C-alpha cells in the first residue's frame, strides 16, 4: 500500500485486500478491546502476527500481552467461536445467562476464578495469569467503568 499514491486504484485495491485479510480473521470487536493496551496505531508487524495466529487456529492472546480481563474476554470469545456456540448456548451449559457471558466478553464485568475455571473447562482454553501481566486501573480511561479485577 505504501508504494502507491493514496487515492490510486492500486492503493484502494491493496487497502481492500488488507481489510479482507484482517477482518476476515480478526474481529473489530477484538481489536477494540486490545487497542488501548497496544501501541497506537497497532504496528503492521503486530497486526500481521495477530492475523497469522488466528489463521493458524490459535487465539490472539498467544502473541499479545494484555491485562487478564481482556485476555479472558478474548479467550472466551475465541473458544466459544471455535466450538460454534452462541453466548446463549454457552450460558445454558454453564447455568449462566447470555447477558453474563456478554459482559465477560466485553470486559464490562469481572469474573471469579470459579467462573473462569468453568469457562476454561467448557471451552478447552487455558488462562495464564502471571505477576508480570499488564494491569488494568480501577477505571477504564475510555469508558470510566469500575474494574472488578484489581
pLDDT tens readout for residues 75-134: 999 999 999 999 999 999 999 999 999 999 988 877 888 999 999 999 999 887 766 655
| The pLDDT of residue 149 | 39
Instruction: Specify the pTM.
Output: 0.72
pLDDT of residue 108: 82
Report d(CA 47, CA 60) in Å as an integer.
Answer: 10
For residues 14 and 71, the model is more confident at: 71
How many CA atoms are closer than 13 Å to the CA of 115, on its beta-carbon side? 18
Alpha-carbon distance of 70 to 64, in angstroms, equals 11
Could you tell me how far CA 143 lies from the centroid of its own chain? 17
> pLDDT tens digits, residue range 44-65?
888 888 888 888 888 988 888 8
- Domains in the chain, start-ordered, CATH in brackets? 9-123 (1.10.260.40)
pLDDT score, position 136:
57
The Cα 107–Cα 147 span in angstroms is 8
Q: Where residue 37 falls among pLDDT bands split at 50, 70, 90?
A: confident
Of 11, 13, 32, whose CA–CA distance to 23 is shortest? 32
Q: Residues 126, 120: contact at Cβ < 8 Å?
A: yes
Cell of 13: 485495491
Least confidently predicted of 13-17, 70-74, 122-126, 139-143: 139-143
pLDDT value of residue 138:
42
Among the listed ranges 9-13, 74-78, 141-145, which one has the minimum average pLDDT value? 141-145
CA 30/CA 22 separation, integer angstroms? 11
Q: Tell me, what's the pLDDT at 55?
A: 86
- C-alpha cell of residue 67: 491485562
Amino acid at each position: 500500500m505504501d508504494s502507491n499514491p493514496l487515492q490510486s486504484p492500486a492503493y484502494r485495491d491493496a487497502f481492500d485486500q488488507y481489510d479482507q485479510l484482517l477482518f476476515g480473521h480478526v474481529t473489530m470487536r477484538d481489536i477494540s478491546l486490545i487497542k488501548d493496551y497496544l501501541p497506537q496505531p497497532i504496528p503492521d508487524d503486530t497486526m500481521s502476527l495477530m492475523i497469522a495466529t488466528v489463521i493458524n487456529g490459535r487465539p490472539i492472546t498467544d502473541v499479545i500481552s494484555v491485562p487478564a480481563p481482556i485476555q479472558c474476554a478474548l479467550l472466551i470469545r475465541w473458544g466459544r467461536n471455535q466450538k460454534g456456540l452462541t453466548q446463549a448456548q454457552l450460558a445454558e451449559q454453564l447455568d449462566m445467562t447470555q447477558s453474563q457471558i456478554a459482559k465477560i466478553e466485553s470486559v464490562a464485568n469481572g469474573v471469579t476464578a470459579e467462573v473462569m475455571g468453568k469457562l476454561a473447562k467448557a471451552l478447552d482454553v487455558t488462562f495464564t495469569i502471571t505477576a508480570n501481566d499488564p494491569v488494568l486501573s480501577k477505571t477504564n480511561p475510555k469508558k470510566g467503568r469500575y474494574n472488578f479485577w484489581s
